[in-house]
Amino acid sequence: MRELGWCCAYLAITLVGLLSLPVGPGASTVWSGAGVVALWLAASSGRRLAVDLLTALALVAVVDLVATGSGVEAVVLLAAHVVQTLVVVPALRAAFPHLHGFGGDRALTTPGEATRFVVLSVVSAGAGCVVAAVGLGAAGSDIGSLRLLADVARSTAGLLIVLVVGTQLVRRAAELRGRVAWAPYHHSWRSPVEPVLLWALSLSALVVVFGPLSSAPLGFLLLSITVLVAARLGPIGAMAHAVLAGGVAILLNGLGEGPFTAVEDLAQRDLVVQVYGLVSFVTALLVSFSQHDRAVVGARLEKLQRRTAAQARELRAVLEHLQEGLAVVGDGGEVVLANATGEQLLDRGALRSPDGTALQDGEHPFVRAARGERFQDDYHLVPRTEGEPTVLEVVGGPVPGDALSGLHARGVVSFRNVTALRHDRDALAAFAGVVAHDLKRPLTGIVGWTGLLAHRIAEGELDRRAWGSMLERVSSAAGDMTSLLDDLLLYTVVRDAPARSEEVDVSALAEQAAELFRSRESRPLVTVQPGLAAVADPVLLRQVLDNLVGNAVKYVAPGVQPRVHVGGRTEGGETVLVVRDNGIGISPELRQRVFEVFQRAHGDEYRGTGLGLAIVRRAVERCDGTVTVRDPGPGDAYPDGTTADTGTVFEVRLPAPVHAGAFALAALLPAVDEQRDVGL
């Protein structure tokens, strides 16, 4: 069935060629059927190739014999077919292994592929025609140079048209059967009306050129319309127009109509007509494929632009969500691009060296990055208004340029706020030293006293009283270690544990803290103002009150009864908790440092770990508050109206609840019964 289809196609195209020749049928089969045979054999493979080859040769031999009526000419034309086929089929398979019909699955789409088709058609047609001319010359039939050129033009046009159109038809048939993916050609027309108008224009031109004005040299009009059609209708429309318009022109020329009849010599006229048809088809082919290729490249470029724009938006969104500042700088150190975090940091102040001095020429990180230096250093960002400097970790490096795109070499700088990290790093260094010291001291005592205890036991010199004294010292040292470890664990918990935010009865928490200390040997007098409330984490706030009340009870002069009052007030939407004591106080130069870890205001005079107030500040900050310390003032009287010149006042500011106005009434209530507080 397949061979029958190819045979019918060969006979049909050969008949068309015979009818189009005004100089006789002698050379018709050289050009008209050669394209079908070439396409037939190029699409064959394996065992089928041998069967197709024998079938094609037999068919060509019979048709040549019938067409020429001469056995010699039939043999010569058969030899020309064989040579032409042997040239074009291997060349097609080698040049187009990716095209459908030649081993691949792609369609003919590019001007380069169309140009290769033209070259192969010219070479193979020329080889076949030369063989035919030589053979016929040897048989006594000299066809002449014009006839030879006409035959080459006919054969080239036949090969080219059949191969190109045939590959398109085979490809479209495979697409309709679902064997390959659909690959539509691009076109430039915007409305279905445009193809109709172009075909009407082409028909009108044919009527004009081959009708009333056939004596005028207006053939160029047809070629101009071919270019227009190829540019607007795409490859399929262009090839259809070129084949139909060229066929009509050749047919009318054979009937003695049209501008080509002005050429009186039939061989010359035949050559002109064949060259016109060939040029028209090649022009349509190259122009349409160029437009298609341009449209494909444009579509890919548009898709790439959309993808690039989307990626740019995604990248910009990522950069805007970065917690680190990022800036791209030009070759002079100027900022070309910066994300939101970077702009905020840069607007906040000016960069300084780590020691706070102004940067010298060439020391600015933007300039360093612009000149290609790679670095990672700390800088201080000094605010334009009052405030503490911010420590920035700045990382910079070069961004290579691109000569093709015109981008100059630039630098990229990232910077992040590491103030807290550097503070924690310094605190960790101090922590290591203090922990080593504070743990080593009780451990030294334990080792010393247990060693002495072991020696006394070995010597038999230890009595019961000495046993008790030594064990008491060992227990005291172990207790110091336990206190330190407990405070370290508590500081870690306060620093890292999740914090809640809810309305808290501060007076109730303060009463719970006070109960822990009222039974102490020093019989402290602790009073609490009722009705205090704030928005905070109850666990963290209880820890704050435990530490502040505990410190107030502990740090008093010898022989003085501790007195502590927990009061409060509202100021501008905040609850201000005031813890007043009559202790030994804190010197002004230590009031900021006492909130740092392992800072002890009174040295070894009073036992402690140096973590209590650090825990207080961290817990208050976790509750979105602040804590300060100061000397007592005129307004810091105890509930009974008495005042004292000594002592300390801690103020803790926390968010106030919505009904904070009730504090005004609560403040008028008497404090908790002092007699009960004293335990009397």
| Spacing of C-alpha 374 from chain mean position | 24
N- to C-terminal Cα distance for the chain?
122
Distance CA 559, CA 561 (A): 7
Angle between helices 111-138 and 266-321 in degrees, nearest 10: 160
**CA atoms lying within 13 Å on the CB side of residue 406:** 0
- C-beta neighbour count of 91 within 10 angstroms: 18
Q: Got the DSSP string for 412-467? A: EEEEEE-HHHHHHHHHHHHHHHHHHHHHHHHHHHHHHHHHHHHHHHHHT---HHHH
Q: What is the pLDDT of residue 677?
A: 41
Q: Which CATH class is domain 423-492?
A: mainly alpha
Beta bridge partners of 629: 650
Average pLDDT rounded to a whole number, residues 446-465 = 69
Beta bridge partners of 653: 576, 626
Angle between helices 219-254 and 144-176 in degrees, nearest 10: 100
Question: Virtual CA dihedral for 103, 108, 113, 117, nearest 10 degrees?
Answer: 80
Q: State the DSSP H helix or E strand holding residue 528, giving kind and residue range, or none if neither.
A: strand 525-528
Sequence-distant (6+) residues with CB within 8 A of 216 are 259
Range from 134-138, 359-363, 566-570 carrying the lowest mean pLDDT: 134-138
Q: What is the pLDDT of residue 639?
A: 80
- pLDDT interval class at 303 (50, 70, 90): very high
Q: Got the DSSP string for 475-522? A: HHHHHHHHHHHHHHHHHHHHHHS----EEEEHHHHHHHHHHHHTTSTT
**pLDDT tens string 569-614:** 988 889 999 999 888 888 888 777 777 766 666 655 666 666 778 8
Range from 46-50, 281-285, 523-527, 645-649 carrying the lowest mean pLDDT: 46-50
Is residue 661 within 8 Å of 598, Cβ to Cβ? Answer: no
Task: Give me 410's structure tokens.
Answer: 């630039």
Range from 60-64, 103-107, 561-565 carrying the lowest mean pLDDT: 103-107
The radius of gyration of the chain's CA atoms, rounded to the nearest angstrom, is 51
Task: Give me 146's structure tokens.
Answer: 């014009």
Is it the case that residue 374 has pLDDT exceeding 80? yes
Average pLDDT rounded to a whole number, residues 485-507 = 74
Question: Virtual CA dihedral for 331, 336, 339, 344, nearest 10 degrees?
Answer: 90
What's the sign of the alpha-carbon dihedral 76, 78, 81, 85?
negative
Q: What is the pLDDT of residue 435?
A: 63
Q: What is the pLDDT of residue 456?
A: 67
**pLDDT tens string 245-266:** 777 777 777 677 777 777 777 7
Q: What is the pLDDT of residue 342?
A: 86
- Does 501-678 carry CATH code 3.90.220.20? no
Phi, psi angles (nearest 5°) of residue 350: -115, 145
Among the listed residues 150, 161, 129, 155, the one whose alpha carbon sits nearest the alpha carbon of residue 39: 161
Task: Give me 160's structure tokens.
Answer: 């080219």
DSSP secondary structure code for residue 326 in this structure: E
Beta bridge partners of 369: none
Identify the residue with better confidence: 430 or 384: 384
Q: Which residue has the tokens 């002005």?
A: 262
Q: What is the pLDDT of residue 674?
A: 42
Tell how strand 626-630 and strand 349-352 pair up: unpaired
Distance CA 376, CA 246 (A): 74
pLDDT winner (highest mean) among 182-186, 521-525, 530-534: 530-534
Identify the residue with better confidence: 548 or 85: 548
Superfamily of domain 322-400+409-417: PAS domain (3.30.450.20)
Is it the case that residue 197 has pLDDT exceeding 70? yes
- pLDDT interval class at 676 (50, 70, 90): very low
Domain boundaries, the chain: 1-183, 186-319, 322-400+409-417, 423-492, 501-678
Is it the case that residue 654 has pLDDT exceeding 80? yes
Q: Which residue has the tokens 């208050």?
A: 620
Task: Give me 639's structure tokens.
Answer: 């509930």
Distance CA 517, CA 564 (A): 11
Report the percent of the chain where pLDDT is more than 70: 79
